[in-house]
Amino acid sequence: MAEVGNELQRHAAEEQQAQTDGFHLVIDALKLNGIENIYGLPGIPVTDLARLAQANGMRVISFRHEQNAGNAAAIAGFLTQKPGVCLTVSAPGFLNGLTALANATTNCFPMILISGSSEREIVDLQQGDYEEMDQLAIARPHAKAAFRVLHAEDIGVGVARAIRAAVSGRPGGVYLDLPAKLLAQSMEAEKGRKSLIKVVDPAPRQLPAPDSVDRAVELLKTAKRPLILLGKGAAYARADADIRALVEKTGIPYLPMSMAKGLLPDTHPQSASAARSYVLAEADVVVLVGARLNWLLSHGKGKTWGKPKQFIQIDISPTEMDSNVAIAAPVVGDIGSCVSALLGKIGNDFAKPGADWLNAVDERKEKNLAKMAETLAKETSPMNFHSALRVLKDVVKANPSISFVNEGANTLDYARAVIDMYEPRKRLDVGTWGVMGVGMGYAVAAAVETSKPVLAVCGDSAFGFSGMEVETICRYDLPVCIVVFNNNGVYKGIDKNPTGGKDPAVTMFVPGARYDKMMEAFGGVGHNVTTPAELESAVNEALRSGKPTLINAVIDPAAGTESGRLTNLNPQSSASK
């Protein structure tokens, strides 16, 4: 009898072993497609999904707020060309992650937001389930694509579709809705394994039409004052060597957008960054490589763009063409293929731009660089943005492979102009929306994905949006050094309540706050610095030790301007005119 009992038990165990479930199929599908990390926050119904992912060899980084996990996933996508995955609970957790998904879509970063959801039957009849929400419908307008899986055997297809939608063509954010019931559904393991899809060629090359390349080269040949403009699409595309070859072979001055800095070192002799206004106004033919003519480029018109010009635009999205101004030579395809096709047509007989144009650009550059050097050299007490940034400029120069995360208003605008980048995809910032709150999510993911140190330089307001993640940074012991430029408020720290009443002005924070203590609270290193020398020593110590560090850099509360360089975008109240 005992033997029969054992036999039955063995059978039951084998039977059980031969089963899989929704939890395991999701994890297996992600792993099969080379996705190794999940950024998320556990809770009903995804706690076990996160647990099992960790148990099955994935790295799961648990955050304190889903928006930060989502931002981490988005920048992981930018850094790796694989969709970054964010995992959240239903309704409120999903909505917290949705801001990041929308931001990823806006910035063309590949990301998948996976959220658990409540039961369809109850949601659709609006019967008031736990965290009830029609998440798929809400996600759809904010995502490049949105899918729901109802049956375990469709998980493989669902994940494959999500991956393809995120990374093919113009990358973006994808929402994948997983109802709680699905995760617990079981099916035969072998059948389950066969239902998974290893996506072949998830982001196929898209070759440009040969005549579009010819048209672009012909136009470029007619240019007297050409300019190449590199955007973050060019950084994402990882066509670094060909882009450098295009710049150097043609001898054309180039301008990197913020997150394209470092694609070629900012110290490259052809960089026109220090003569930005001049080249934008004066150029006659502009080659846009993975950059949109949106607000960041004044929509391609107006005073910024000065003299009439013609555009060549390289982009994977055909509908980007003519979105703001006429594009004389659209080249539609992936940047690697397009740039290499252009290079193939640019023979050794290609005439480099005339000396008058290059000299004029150099002249402006030298003048502006000298002015900048003078500003940076000024010893100020208290410390201002420039004296602090002088130190950080040297730190990045000495450590070119660290990731540099940057958010704020003045902190962002000055740092972008002052700090040279030397390697591609190292500058990570507020992007297309100019959004605050990406700082700590980006810092965590940059540390996780690159295994190299991260320097995050944030305004005190900007830091506050994701500041609680210092605990995450300590918990995972990540080599992140945060510098908070603390000037006691949003933009500045000297505003007064116009009524003279007790409440502080709307842009003010607690004066003299000690953000460094937040890091110390979780076992990290905190520094409070008031001089450039103290700042330098604290940052260098952090980079040497690799310990989570927060440096509260006390900045003159009167330094900076309202909205940094975007003052012109503030609508004026008729009362203040």
* Binding mask of the shown chain, residues 91 to 130, with x at each position contacting ligand ADP by CB under 6 A: ----------------xx----------------------
- Binding of ligand ADP by 69 (CB under 6 A): no
- Binding of ligand ADP by 294 (CB under 6 A): yes
Distances (CA, A) of 557 to 305, 307, 436, 532: 34, 39, 20, 16
Q: How far is the CB of 461 from ligand TPW (least distance, A)?
A: 3
Q: Could you tell me which stretch among 11-19, 290-298, 395-403, 551-559 binds ligand ADP (CB under 6 A)? A: 290-298
- Binding of ligand ADP by 298 (CB under 6 A): no
Strands 37-40 and 254-256: unpaired
Contacting residues for 238 by C-beta, under 8 A, at least 6 apart: 81, 336, 424
Q: Find the binder of ligand ADP among 24, 144, 268, 292 (CB under 6 A).
A: 292
Considering only residues 206-225, where is the footprint of ligand TPW by CB under 6 A?
Answer: none
Nearest CB to ligand ADP, comparing residues 266 and 334: 334
352 within 8 A of 220, measured Cβ to Cβ = no
Q: Find the binder of ligand TPW among 26, 287, 435, 455 (CB under 6 A).
A: 435
Q: Find the binder of ligand TPW among 72, 263, 436, 553 (CB under 6 A).
A: 436
Phi, psi of 300 (to 5 degrees): 75, 10
Q: What is the DSSP letter of 251?
A: T
- Binding of ligand ADP by 65 (CB under 6 A): no
Nearest CB to ligand ADP, comparing residues 91 and 316: 316
Question: What amino acid is encoded at 184 in this protein?
Answer: A
- Binding of ligand TPW by 411 (CB under 6 A): yes
Q: Which residues pair with 145 in a beta bridge?
A: 174
- Binding of ligand ADP by 334 (CB under 6 A): yes
CA atoms 344, 349, 352, 353: torsion sign: negative
Contacting residues for 568 by C-beta, under 8 A, at least 6 apart: none
- Binding of ligand TPW by 434 (CB under 6 A): yes
* Binding mask of the shown chain, residues 241 to 280, with x at each position contacting ligand TPW by CB under 6 A: ----------------------------------------
Helix (H, G, I), strand (E, B) or coil at 189: helix
Phi, psi of 115 (to 5 degrees): -125, 140
Cα angle, residue 269 at apex, residues 265 and 270 outer, rounded to 5°: 90
Phi, psi of 329 (to 5 degrees): -135, 90
Nearest CB to ligand TPW, comparing residues 110 and 464: 464
Give 134's Cβ-side CA count (13 Å radius): 10
Q: Could you tell me which stretch among 57-65, 143-151, 309-317, 379-387 binds ligand ADP (CB under 6 A)? A: 309-317
Q: How far, in whole angstroms, is CA 237 from its chain's centroid?
A: 14
Nearest CB to ligand TPW, comparing residues 105 and 340: 105
- Binding of ligand ADP by 275 (CB under 6 A): no
Contacting residues for 234 by C-beta, under 8 A, at least 6 apart: 243, 260, 263, 289, 290, 291, 335
Distances (CA, A) of 100 to 82, 104, 193, 568: 16, 6, 32, 27
Q: How far is the CB of 483 from ligand TPW (least distance, A)?
A: 11
Task: Return the residue nearest ligand ADP (CB atom).
Answer: 233
Q: Of these partners, ligand TPW, ligand ADP, none, which one is at the site of residue 296 (CB under 5 to 8 Å by kind)?
A: ligand ADP
Rounded to an integer, what distance in angstroms lies between the CA atom of residue 136 and that of residue 66? 17
- Binding of ligand TPW by 74 (CB under 6 A): no
- Binding of ligand TPW by 485 (CB under 6 A): yes
- Binding of ligand ADP by 255 (CB under 6 A): no
Q: Of these partners, ligand TPW, ligand ADP, none, which one is at the site of residue 290 (CB under 5 to 8 Å by kind)?
A: ligand ADP
Q: How far is the CB of 331 from ligand ADP (least distance, A)?
A: 9
Question: What amino acid is encoded at 360 in this protein?
Answer: A
Closest C-alpha to 121, from 136, 108, 134: 134
Q: How far is the CB of 224 from ligand ADP (least distance, A)?
A: 25
Exposed e or buried b for every residue in 242-278, given b needs 16+ CB within 10 A?
bbbbbbebbebbbbbbbbbbbbbbbebebbbbbbbeb
Question: What amino acid is encoded at 454 in this protein?
Answer: V
- Binding of ligand ADP by 290 (CB under 6 A): yes
- Binding of ligand TPW by 564 (CB under 6 A): yes
Dmax over Cα atoms in the chain, in whole Å? 100
Q: At what angle do helices 335-345 and 210-222 cross, to 10 degrees?
A: 60
* Contact footprint for ligand ADP (CB under 6 A): 107-108, 170-171, 231-233, 236-237, 257, 259-260, 290-292, 294, 296, 315-317, 320, 334-335, 432
* Contact footprint for ligand TPW (CB under 6 A): 408-411, 434-437, 459-462, 485, 487, 490-491, 560, 564
